[in-house]
Amino acid sequence: MTDTATRLTPTATTDETTAVGIGLLVLRVGFGGLMAAYGTQKLFGWFNGPGWRANADSFTAMDYNPGEFFGTLAGAAELVGGLLLVFGLFTPLAAAIVLGTMINAINVLWSGGLFPADPSVPGFTTPLLFALAAAALAFTGPGRFSLDAGRPWQRRGVVWGGAAVALAVVTAVVTLIFKAVL
């Protein structure tokens, strides 16, 4: 009797493992860098952003009261979550931070639709795309070219990805509850 399980289970070559690691590095650095840049726009006005005061005022206008708190929270979440993703550090937590923030952004832009007919009306396509990238990284992990790789705290897979998504949903819902109550 032969063991067919070992013959049918493909093994990744070094080249495939390296390619996956490079792909995740490109995704993390590109996506995380963009998220961090969005955070600096909100907090510091960098990259043609509104800056803290205008950001706080826009959060107040969106009924996130107090706007100073929620605007700072959103900017800090984008900045910190983005930087953690860039470095591949505490990746499921970083993904949860970004995903929770994007769930709130989707909520705000929901009325515009996925593909608005009027180009002056913002839709929720971009935050949805960012949410999908964050969720994917929560499950895959950061790859081998990261600060998490090979460390005792490295986490990835279905359980950790699911936990990150659950944490993001819970924090987003709590934020939306506070928005409705305050």
Q: Is residue 120 part of a domain?
A: yes
Is residue 90 in some structural domain? yes
**Cα diameter, the chain:** 73
CA 60 from centre of chain? 23
Residue 76 falls inside a structural domain: yes
pLDDT in tens, 56-113: 999 999 999 999 999 999 999 999 999 999 999 999 999 999 999 999 999 999 999 9
State the residue range of the domain holding 43: 13-181
4 domain-assigned: no
> pLDDT tens digit string along 96-106?
999 999 999 99
Residue 139 belongs to a domain = yes
**160 occurs within a structural domain:** yes
Residue 7 lies in a domain: no
> What is this structure's pTM?
0.90
Q: Which residues contact 145 (CB under 8 A, 6 or more apart)?
A: 21, 22, 24, 25, 88
Write out pLDDT tens, residues 3-16.
555 555 567 788 88
In a domain, 8, yes or no: no
Q: How many domains does the chain have?
A: 1
Residue type at position 154: Q
pLDDT of residue 129: 97
Nearest to 135 by CA among 103, 182, 177, 106: 103
